[in-house]
Amino acid sequence: MKIIKEINVNVCKTEGCEHFSEVVEDAYVIPSFKLGFPAVYCSRCGGSSVLINNEDIKILLNPYVDFFKLNINEQCPHCDSLEKVLYGKTAKGTTRYQCKCCNTVFSLKNSIDSKNLFNKIMTLFILEAQIPTYIIKTLGITPALFYRKLSTIEKLIEIKIRKYEQYLEKSRSYDLQTNVFTLNCRNNATKGFSNELFGMITCCSKTGYVFLPSVNWSEILVSSDSQYHNNTKKEILDNTQGVLLDNIIMRYEQINSRKSFGQIQYTDKTCSEHIIEPVVLSHFHFLKLKFILPVNIQHHFIYHDSFIRGGCMVAYGKEIKKKHSHLYYVVSNGSRLTSEFNYKGSYTLGWWNNKWYEFISPDKKELFYLCNLGLNKNNDIHFYTAIMPSLDYSQLFIQSFKDKFPESFLKRLSPNTVKLLLSIYSFYYNYCLTQDGKVPAQKIGLLKEKITIKDFFI
């Protein structure tokens, strides 16, 4: 059978199936309505997964890919060649280049102008948590200039940080954890919709270094297939409270009761058409993560939900299939599983008959649940405690952001400004905020000493 080599997330997500993560002609029924919603049905294993509009994933991902190739890899925007020569400067003093292969002339983003203004905006917005109207008035600038500079700040920091990350050890394997959260922002009262945001965060599970935060707001309008349509009862997303096993069972019941496995009712309000489905965000998030990371992922610990699992399995399917990368659900109240925990037993739960392992802390006060979603199935309890699974660092980042920018603050910002703020704060968190004597960038080996906001624009 012919293998189609393109971005296509409509594949089998059953890890034991021979078609798992493979785009194979005639292997699937698309669309299938066996479950009552448009789905991808695998003829080999009988599994179904929600049908995703691939063009919308491309619409979301491709602008970033083009940005990354040009400004981080410094490739020609026309032919992707790395061969270039200097070709003078623009009127603002920006260096221009000419591609040696196709003669295209292009420029890279730089921070040679308004460095002082950048630092003032960063100080007021990030350090002092001042709202845009205050910053605009204090600096004596127009709203248009402020938002333009804020977008430029985010892009300049992104370039610098992604270039830092190219120095991560390629021979090493890293462990990741991915969690979810929600954020409020300014609603559009005149149009009668909410802009409540659903977010995902992925960080290094050993150092807390944040690799990628994402929210489901898109300036680019995607198709109706991928827009968030919801007017049902809000689900409870916090699985760290109460009886954890009950939370796991409740999550399976919620998944089964949804109109599709990909839908999640994170809000009970009618949202803007620029808010995308969390399942679409999940696929975009993990595909972007794989694109930006220059390293191998060994163990990946994720929040317990089918759409998070599906997005990760698509992006890392080949590695999971070869047993180079392993995927796990984690449910705990913030603890980290270690050899000090005692094994209590296991449970087989849910539509997919997932096997969950239960552990209890030495003081018998904390329970920890782990589910192996990969192909390295085994019952070696010491193996699971040795990899030290957790979602602790991701929870720490989410709490840090919400402490710095409470709901009352975020509700005064547009969704796009919240998106920029989250991105900028993640860089600040990695390189400027000390945890246990070091910043996350030091712990992961990218810095010898922490830096300041001013250092971002040197």
Average pLDDT, the chain: 91
Number of Cα atoms under 13 Å in the Cβ half of residue 373: 29
Tell me which of 93 and 179 has the higher pLDDT. Answer: 179
249 token code pair: 């069972």
Task: Please identify which residue in the block is written with the tokens 């370039």.
Answer: 159
Report d(CA 74, CA 85) in Å as an integer. 12
Split at pLDDT 50, 70, 90, the class of 269 is confident
- What percentage of the chain reaches a pLDDT higher than 90? 69
Report d(CA 68, CA 75) in Å as an integer. 9
> Are 444 and 436 spatial neighbours (Cβ–Cβ below 8 Å)?
no
Ranges 3-7, 116-120, 361-365, most confident: 361-365
Predicted confidence at residue 273, as pLDDT, reads 92
Check residue 233 and report its DSSP letter.
P
Split at pLDDT 50, 70, 90, the class of 252 is very high
Predicted confidence at residue 36, as pLDDT, reads 83
Mean pLDDT across the stretch 69-94? 89
The length of the chain in residues reads 458
Predicted confidence at residue 26, as pLDDT, reads 85
CA angle (226, 231, 236) in 5-degree steps: 90
Mean pLDDT across the stretch 200-227? 96
H helices of 30-86, in order, are: 54-71
Predicted confidence at residue 4, as pLDDT, reads 41
Residue 177 burial by CB count (10 A; 0-12/13-18/19+): exposed, middle or buried? buried
pLDDT tens figures, 46-69: 888 899 999 999 999 999 999 999
DSSP per-residue codes, 308-370: HHHHHHHHTHHHHHTTSSEEEEEEESS----TTSEEEEEEEETTTTEEEEEEE-TTS--EEEE
Split at pLDDT 50, 70, 90, the class of 191 is confident
Predicted confidence at residue 209, as pLDDT, reads 97
Is pLDDT of 317 > 70?
A: yes
Report which of 299, 325, 296 is spatially closest to residue 172, judged by C-alpha positions: 296
Split at pLDDT 50, 70, 90, the class of 3 is very low
Is pLDDT of 239 > 70?
A: yes
CB within 8 A of 97, min separation 6: which ones? 84, 85, 86, 87, 105, 106, 107, 108
Report which of 426, 435, 432, 434 is spatially closest to residue 452, judged by C-alpha positions: 432
Predicted confidence at residue 379, as pLDDT, reads 84
Report d(CA 451, CA 209) in Å as an integer. 15
Check residue 456 and report its DSSP letter.
G
Report d(CA 122, CA 139) in Å as an integer. 12
Is pLDDT of 232 > 90?
A: no
Report d(CA 444, CA 430) in Å as an integer. 10
> Are 74 and 48 spatial neighbours (Cβ–Cβ below 8 Å)?
no
Mean pLDDT across the stretch 97-106? 93
Domain ranges of the chain: 1-51, 56-110, 123-457
Ranges 106-110, 163-167, 188-192, 405-409, most confident: 405-409
pLDDT tens figures, 363-401: 999 999 999 998 778 888 999 999 999 999 999 999 999
Report which of 323, 396, 328 is spatially closest to residue 368, judged by C-alpha positions: 328
pLDDT tens figures, 135-144: 999 999 999 9
Report d(CA 171, CA 196) in Å as an integer. 40
Split at pLDDT 50, 70, 90, the class of 1 is very low
pLDDT tens figures, 124-135: 999 999 999 999
Mean pLDDT across the stretch 201-208? 97
Number of Cα atoms under 13 Å in the Cβ half of residue 261: 26
Is pLDDT of 112 > 70?
A: no
Which range has the worst mean pLDDT, 221-225, 229-233, 410-414? 229-233
455 token code pair: 């250092």
